[in-house]
Chain A
Amino acid sequence: MKERVLVAMSGGVDSSVAAALLVEQGYEVVGATMKLFCYGDDVPDRPCCSLDSINDARRVCQQLGVPHYVLNLESAFGRDVVSNFVDEYARGRTPIPCVRCNTFTKFRDLLRKADGIDARWIATGHYAQVVDGAMHRGLDPRKDQSYFLWGIDRDVVRRMLLPVGGRTKVETRAVAHRLGLEVVAEKTESQDICFVPDGDHTRILRQRLGDNAPALSTGPLLLSDGTSVGTHQGFARYTIGQRRGLPGGFREAMYVVDIRPEQRAVVIGPRTELLGRGVIARELNWLAEPPAMGAQLAIQVRHRAPAAAAEVVRITPDEIELALDEPVAAITPGQSLVLYDGTQVVGGGIIEASRRSRASLPILAA
């Protein structure tokens, strides 16, 4: 009896190849494309999540001789992902909706659908690897997506198959060509957030919060000593480490170093003020045994950022604090903190604050 696997297919090359490889490996594959948000008339075509993508996934499944379904997860996605995205910006933070999407929509909801059809496994086209129930980085360092996957339930990870995680993107495309999946083989990748079609996240904030929301209203642009150096058009337009849109005329290059929503203030400063020696995270999730006090781990505070050595200096069920051996730039509330032991993902959390030095007070966004 072949084991059944429910494959989440975006219509892109990675998940298409994932499905094809599982068919080759002898699984009984069932394809599913998640419809996560409504295709409004004003949304231009996107490489991911569009009606065309659903059709591409369906065509790939037809070619593979496996069934394909469209899962309408719009309301769950709106509740679990989009609303949180808006709330986080309103609090002066910079969320990663993909993390919550993976945690709730892509995997937890998918697993529920898998249970409904007696599928033992679920699979996606993510570049990460699951070995003996443990999650590891993807083999291709340029494609590694483990940073986005720390929030998944440990029980879910045990049932995950990630067939392209042990390959490079180049290899994945080669497999697509070898298997004749020309519909998707050379598709470009989606880089933006799927429900922010043109890269302008303030549009959805305006829709949800109204034009006069504090996060979208004029506020002071300050130096860290409190000196006012101008105004900005809404702190939700800024993220820590940003240079674009800041006034010139300073001796050094200036960055956003802090956002203070209670004052509607955006604080700017030179690069030295961007560096943190400590990070505090909440909403923790563990994919391995939680680390002990004093444990030495590698951490990542941003997608594609290099891993940094760190030591656990405080850990409770709700919060973790790590001290960094070397300073790390732009530790941003709302982004993810992911802890690694070698290539293994130990767990992660949502960044709450950073510290300039081990002894200094935490810099809180909210």
Chain B
Amino acid sequence: MPEAIYLDHAATTPVRPEVREAMEPFFGPRFGNPSSLHRWGREARVALDEARERVAACLGARADEICFTSGGTESDNLAVLGAWRARRAQGRNAVVSSPIEHKAVLAAVHQAAKEGADERLCAMTRDCTVDQSSFDRLVDSDVAVASVMWVNNEVGTIQPIEQLATVAHERGVFFHTDAVQAFGKVSIDASVVPFDILSISGHKIGAPKGCGAIFVRRGTVIEPLFHGGTQDRGRRPGTENVAAAVGLARAAQLTLAERAEECRRLTALRDRLEEAILAAVPDAIVHGRGARRAPHISSISVPGTESESLLMALDLQGIACSAGSACQSGSVTPSHVLSACGVRADIANAAIRMSLGSLTTDAGIERVTEVFPALIRKARGLAPVSRAQAVGA
């Protein structure tokens, strides 16, 4: 088996050594509960507060605007459901979102609808960007919260968050953005862009799985999902995961410090990858290529192939990619993102997502540019099996 090439950084990333090191003491001597009044408690509290400050600094926010969560899914649910539940009784029963959101947002929006919300999903342009005029029409004074992701996790397109947040604000609508794929890839500054709520996840940026954060702007009142103690101002009861918070803060700082350089590097690698594939397979489709994209995601469909078989063949060559977002069973399901952007079903079913990151090297990309076209040629050489209507007919 040749050396393995991991091209699935949008799914998850390895924990950085610096992050492990920062977390280590909190599994050992600094094990205290931040709510305790004694020295162990104080020590943990200080570490937690510092972590909160660091994350806030990374987002252009104030420390009290940051709440630690179990990850992107919890942050997204808290944002959508928490905002809608807090405002539904004030004549704001509608929720606006886009059809290309991560399932964490979409399912939360559907849940709100089940509980009585008016669900509105805006239209998309063909290059996987929110249609701003559609968004503008849907966001009215009866809307509690509008949620649009900053960077799409399957295609990598950057959504016009500043414009959307501004429109929402004009109508008194809370604006949430899922920035799980955006953090470290685009500039995020709460003092510049008027979003009210923002979600980030630890394991996409070198922190462990199971940690994340939510930014909630001062004055933005949302209902908690959990009920219990008063931790995190009651927004997120439960003893804080101090080690995870420290790890997330460290990962966020490192990611941000390296952002400009890493984005340049990844952009160059991604462009090389796409150009090589397009040169070898001229009819390959790079989704969202005409739009502004984050540098780490490339979604490619080759007509006449199917992602499931291609992913197996790539994996057997040691190249790890995905079709889009993963399902619990590990099976490949058609992408709701590509369908929403008007991509034909057979093209959507051929999509391969390659996502670059810390483990991506020149040599790795070089090898993918050789293997991928070869596998495509092979896949296309196989005539699809004709399907008789009857057994043996």
**Please, which residues of chain B bring their CB within 8 A of the CB of A72?**
308, 331-333
Q: Are B382 and A151 within 8 A (Cβ)?
A: no
Binds B, one of A63-71, A238-246, A269-277, A356-364: A63-71
Q: Are A70 and B384 within 8 A (Cβ)?
A: no
- In the assembled complex, how far is the CB of residue B184 from the closest CB belonging to chain A, in whole angstroms? 31
Kindly state the separation between the CA atoms of A109 and B306 in the bound complex, as whole angstroms: 13
Kindly state the separation between the CA atoms of A118 and B331 in the bound complex, as whole angstroms: 20
Count how many pairs of residues, one from A and one from B, have CB atoms less than 8 Å apart in the complex. Answer: 75
Residues of B346-393 contacting chain A, CB below 8 A = 378-379, 382, 384-385, 387, 390-393
Q: Are B316 and A67 within 8 A (Cβ)?
A: yes
**Please, which residues of chain B bring their CB within 8 A of the CB of A54?**
329-331
From A35, A111, A117, A347, residue with most partner B Cβ within 10 Å: A117
Residues of A65-102 contacting chain B, CB below 8 A = 67, 69-72, 80, 99-100
**Please, which residues of chain B bring their CB within 8 A of the CB of A69?**
308, 311-312, 315, 330
**Residue from A58, A117, A349 within 8 A of B312 (CB atoms):** A117
Q: Are A51 and B391 within 8 A (Cβ)?
A: no
Interface residue A284 (Cβ < 8 Å from any Cβ of B):
yes
- In the assembled complex, how far is the CB of residue A112 from the closest CB belonging to chain B, in whole angstroms? 5
Main secondary structure on B side of the interface with A: loop
Interface residue B179 (Cβ < 8 Å from any Cβ of A):
no
Please name the residue on chain B nearest to A111 by beta carbon. B385
Residues of B200-221 contacting chain A, CB below 8 A = none
Please name the residue on chain B nearest to A112 by beta carbon. B385
Interface residue A3 (Cβ < 8 Å from any Cβ of B):
no
Interface residue A108 (Cβ < 8 Å from any Cβ of B):
yes
* Interface membership of chain B positions 317-334, coded 1 if the CB is closer than 8 angstroms to chain A and 0 otherwise: 000000000001111110
Kindly state the separation between the CA atoms of A51 and B378 in the bound complex, as whole angstroms: 32
Interface residue A44 (Cβ < 8 Å from any Cβ of B):
no
Q: Are B382 and A51 within 8 A (Cβ)?
A: no
Kindly state the separation between the CA atoms of A116 and B314 in the bound complex, as whole angstroms: 10
**Please, which residues of chain B bring their CB within 8 A of the CB of A347?**
392
Interface residue A340 (Cβ < 8 Å from any Cβ of B):
no
**Please, which residues of chain B bring their CB within 8 A of the CB of A113?**
308-309, 312
Kindly state the separation between the CA atoms of A32 and B393 in the bound complex, as whole angstroms: 28
Q: Are A30 and B316 within 8 A (Cβ)?
A: yes
A residues near B (Cβ < 8 Å) are 30, 32, 35, 39, 51, 54, 58, 67, 69-72, 80, 99-100, 103-104, 108-109, 111-113, 115-118, 151, 283-286, 347, 349-350
5 contacts between A and B (CB under 8 A): A69-B308, A99-B391, A116-B310, A116-B382, A118-B378
Contacts beyond the supplied A116-B378, A350-B390: 16 A-B pairs with Cβ under 8 Å? A30-B312, A35-B331, A69-B308, A69-B312, A69-B330, A70-B330, A70-B332, A72-B331, A104-B387, A112-B309, A118-B313, A283-B393, A284-B392, A285-B391, A285-B392, A347-B392
